[in-house]
Amino acid sequence: METIAIIGTGLIGRAWATVFARAGHPVRLFDAAPGAADKALGLIREGLSELRAAQLVDEAPDTIAARISAATTLQDAVRDAGYVQENTSEREDIKRQVFSDLDAAAPPDCILASSTSTIQTSRFAGHVPGRHRCLVAHPVNPPHIVPIVELSPAPFTAPEVVERTRALHEKVGQVPILVKKEIEGFILNRLQAALLLEAWHLVDEGYVSTEDLDKTIRDGLGLRWAFMGPFETIDLNAPGGISDYADRFGEKLHGMMQGTQYRRWEGDLVARVEAERRKLMPQSEHAEREAWRDRRLMALVAHKRAQDKGHR
Amino acid sequence: METIAIIGTGLIGRAWATVFARAGHPVRLFDAAPGAADKALGLIREGLSELRAAQLVDEAPDTIAARISAATTLQDAVRDAGYVQENTSEREDIKRQVFSDLDAAAPPDCILASSTSTIQTSRFAGHVPGRHRCLVAHPVNPPHIVPIVELSPAPFTAPEVVERTRALHEKVGQVPILVKKEIEGFILNRLQAALLLEAWHLVDEGYVSTEDLDKTIRDGLGLRWAFMGPFETIDLNAPGGISDYADRFGEKLHGMMQGTQYRRWEGDLVARVEAERRKLMPQSEHAEREAWRDRRLMALVAHKRAQDKGHR
């Protein structure tokens, strides 16, 4: 099992450490903030207990946590690594420097991956001698529960590096997808943005309340999307499959959405949506509700696994 | 328990009969095609057995089915009804005629609701003397499993009728939402269309395969959306709540999606998406996969109910 180095031990870094350690990999943590990596170890152990309670890991939390250790320098963390997952601040200048340091310190065949959600590989790794081994591996928060990972290489990333990264993520139980050409927002955040812009627009124009809009997804579309994607959904929604669906509904859906100008989320609109949300959930319950979300996500992932085993 | 009349006994009509009968209502079926209503009774009983197997109904299928009977005329079906759910062909001329007939035959305080997904109340009921009691109650297929119902009244629909319809659907276990002003596609299909247009565009431009795009939803965004809506999702994705999210990401998301021209789904694009889907699921497995989808939906709904009971 190759060693995995985790650079930056915030929420995402800790979740990645959990992903690789529970799959059996030795994990080395580094964070530039003194003491952060040591503190992360304790938080990771807590998270492992929650995963255990949700029956999402088979081993005892201590067994898994014993594979993770803190390093005091970046160089020490990556010295023996086969794969690095970087999770530092979402700033291009910082990532450029970190990738210079990583490229100088890591073994020649070690892969250097970034968790960035907004900065394309070309922008943070183009200047690095070993840029062929750099790419984005963008998770959804928190990656130890939600399995999707978007792999977004630059044109200079070696295909073999992409393939090894894909294989590694599949092996540890994530679901990697390939972003074939660089694009702002990758795939996931573009899909989310498309839906969000329409959602805010419908509330802005007075067609629906934020609460009812949320119900439309969580008691409607979201039920299908939890185990089928949008293409499989519409493929099954017309007797003749997806081309039949395109024939029946394509022109109508296309026409219906033409010409809408989405305005920015600002001023009175934000205040109104904020007020509607605060009636449903006081800000004082934010942290508690986040924990609820993660418990629900864990339970849903466990449910999906059981279903996948039972009947495909 | 007031009597419910179901007009049109296709997939949607049968599902509605199931929804109302399992909640204890007497249900009268009518279909203009001779023998269709009788045949529907058998199919409804089969569906009830599946619901029972998924632990989504408490009573024996025969007990529930005994509340449903077939009428030979529309007039006979609605004579004693307190609520009518109409499910005839998705054609304006047909619905206009059916609503004339319903308004002439139903008791004065009976509500007349249509399952239409594309025709607004103003268009099929404006000519009817009792138009104040007409509205759209648009379900998602199949409504006996997916609980969302979009209530879309016309300006002429009486507020009291909307309120009674909302109360009825809540009482029988559906999740009604209010479309406050008439709009093409209501809420659900507009949200779906916004996401679909971006999805087809990303495949069209070669950024991602249909398979990977589906994974992005079902192993990523769809997990959250199965129990939270998009507003709750982003409310929890920024420490300061939804206005904090709008500050941090609003401008970026808005800018990212500006200027995209969505082309129609036709020609080579449809052929390509169709080919990718057929590799994943041969057309010969379509009916089988639809049954799989409904089993998965039932299991997911049962999972959500158990979770809602356990910890909110």
pLDDT band at residue B311 under the 50/70/90 scheme: low
Complex-level ipTM: 0.97
Residue A101 near residue A22, CB atoms below 8 Å? no
CB contact under 8 A, B243 and A216: no
Q: What is the CATH number of the domain that holds A198?
A: 1.10.1040.10
**Which one of B211, B295, B296, B301 makes the best mutation probe of the A interface by having the most chain A beta carbons within 10 Å?**
B296
The reply to whether B117 and B236 lie within a common domain is no
B75 falls within a domain: yes
Query: CA dihedral defined by A7, A8, A9, A10, rounded to 10 degrees?
Result: -150
Joined together, the tokens standing for residue B227 give 């129990």
Residue B140 has pLDDT above 60, yes or no: yes
Nearest Cα of chain B lies from the Cα of A224 at a distance, in angstroms, of 7
Segment A204-214 shows an average pLDDT of 98
Interface check for A297 against chain B (CB to CB < 8 A): the answer is: yes
Which tens digit of pLDDT belongs to each residue from B9-37? 999 999 999 999 999 999 999 999 999 99
Q: What pLDDT is recorded for position B312?
A: 47
CB contact under 8 A, A229 and B207: no
Nearest Cα of chain A lies from the Cα of B108 at a distance, in angstroms, of 29
Which tens digit of pLDDT belongs to each residue from B191-202? 999 999 999 999
pLDDT band at residue A311 under the 50/70/90 scheme: low
Residue B259 has pLDDT above 90, yes or no: no
Q: What are phi and psi of B208, to 5 degrees?
A: -160, 155
B270 falls within a domain: yes
List Cβ<8 Å contacts ≥24 apart for A265-271. Answer: A265/A200, A265/B246, A265/B250, A265/B254, A266/B246, A266/B250, A269/A200, A269/A203, A269/A204, A270/B242, A270/B243, A270/B246, A270/B250, A271/B243
The reply to whether A142 and A12 lie within a common domain is yes
Which tens digit of pLDDT belongs to each residue from A126-180? 999 999 999 999 999 899 999 999 999 999 999 999 999 999 999 999 999 999 9
The reply to whether B257 and B127 lie within a common domain is no
Joined together, the tokens standing for residue A172 give 């540890």
Which tens digit of pLDDT belongs to each residue from B145-180? 999 999 999 999 999 999 999 999 999 999 999 999
Segment A229-249 shows an average pLDDT of 95
The reply to whether B123 and B216 lie within a common domain is no
Residue B310 has pLDDT above 80, yes or no: no
Angle between helices B188-204 and A188-204 (to 10 degrees): 150
Which tens digit of pLDDT belongs to each residue from B33-81? 999 999 999 999 999 999 999 999 999 999 999 999 999 999 999 999 9
pLDDT band at residue A306 under the 50/70/90 scheme: very high
The reply to whether B147 and B203 lie within a common domain is no
A288 falls within a domain: no
Residue B126 has pLDDT above 80, yes or no: yes
Which residues does A70 contact at the CB level (< 8 Å), separation at least 6? A28, A29, A30, A37, A38, A40, A41
Q: Which among A175, A191, A239 has CB closest to B199?
A: A191
Q: Which among B242, B253, B300 has CB closest to A193?
A: B253
A238 falls within a domain: no
Joined together, the tokens standing for residue A4 give 């995995």
Residue B270 near residue A241, CB atoms below 8 Å? no
The reply to whether A159 and A194 lie within a common domain is no
Interface check for A288 against chain B (CB to CB < 8 A): the answer is: no
Search chain A and give the residue with CA nearest B214. Answer: A229
Which domain, by its residues, includes A143?
A: 3-178
Q: What is the distance between the alpha carbons of residues A189 and B65, in angstroms, rounded to a whole number? A: 46
Residue B189 has pLDDT above 60, yes or no: yes
Search chain A and give the residue with CA nearest B242. Answer: A274
CB contact under 8 A, A188 and B297: no
Which tens digit of pLDDT belongs to each residue from A77-113? 999 999 999 999 999 999 999 999 999 999 999 999 9
B297 falls within a domain: no
The reply to whether A149 and A196 lie within a common domain is no
The reply to whether A59 and A100 lie within a common domain is yes
B307 falls within a domain: no
The reply to whether B88 and B214 lie within a common domain is no
pLDDT band at residue B255 under the 50/70/90 scheme: very high
Residue A312 has pLDDT above 60, yes or no: no
| A 195-224 near B (Cβ less than 8 A) | 195-199, 202, 205-210, 212-224
Of B152, B178, B204, at which residue does a domain stop? B178
User: What is the sign of the dihedral through the CA atoms of A219, A222, A228 and A233?
Assistant: positive
The reply to whether B169 and B202 lie within a common domain is no
Q: What is the distance between the alpha carbons of residues B137 and A198, in angstroms, rounded to a whole number? A: 22
Nearest Cα of chain B lies from the Cα of A170 at a distance, in angstroms, of 13
Q: What pLDDT is recorded for position A167?
A: 98
A65 falls within a domain: yes
Chain A contacts of B147, Cβ < 8 Å?
219-220
Joined together, the tokens standing for residue B306 give 């158990």
A and B: number of Cβ contacts within 8 A: 343
Residue B141 has pLDDT above 90, yes or no: no
CB contact under 8 A, B229 and A235: no
Q: Which among A220, A231, A300 has CB closest to B223?
A: A300
CB contact under 8 A, A220 and B188: yes
CB contact under 8 A, A295 and B274: no
The reply to whether B257 and B166 lie within a common domain is no
Q: What pLDDT is recorded for position A259?
A: 82
The DSSP code sequence of chain B is: --EEEEE--SHHHHHHHHHHHHTT--EEEE-SSTTHHHHHHHHHHHHHHHHHHTT--SS-HHHHHTTEEE-SSHHHHHTTEEEEEE---S-HHHHHHHHHHHHHHS-TT-EEEE--SS--HHHHHTTSTTGGGEEEEEE-SSTTTS-EEEEEE-TTS-HHHHHHHHHHHHHTT-EEEE--S--TTTTHHHHHHHHHHHHHHHHHTTSS-HHHHHHHIIIIIHHHHTTS-HHHHHHHTSTT-HHHHHHHHHHHHHHHHTT--PPPS-HHHHHHHHHHHHHHS-GGGHHHHHHHHHHHHHHHHHHHHHHHHH--
Interface check for A305 against chain B (CB to CB < 8 A): the answer is: no
> What value does the mean pLDDT of chain A take?
96
Search chain B and give the residue with CA nearest A175. Answer: B219
Q: What is the distance between the alpha carbons of residues A152 and B255, in angstroms, rounded to a whole number? A: 20
Structural domain count, chain B: 2
Q: Side chain identity at A49, as an amino acid letter? A: S
Q: Which among B217, B226, B231 has CB closest to A199?
A: B231
Of all residues in chain B, the percent with pLDDT exceeding 70 is 99
B48 falls within a domain: yes
Interface check for B44 against chain A (CB to CB < 8 A): the answer is: no
Q: What is the CATH number of the domain that holds B40?
A: 3.40.50.720
Q: What pLDDT is recorded for position A141?
A: 87
Q: What is the distance between the alpha carbons of residues A142 and B232, in angstroms, rounded to a whole number? A: 16
The reply to whether B250 and B121 lie within a common domain is no
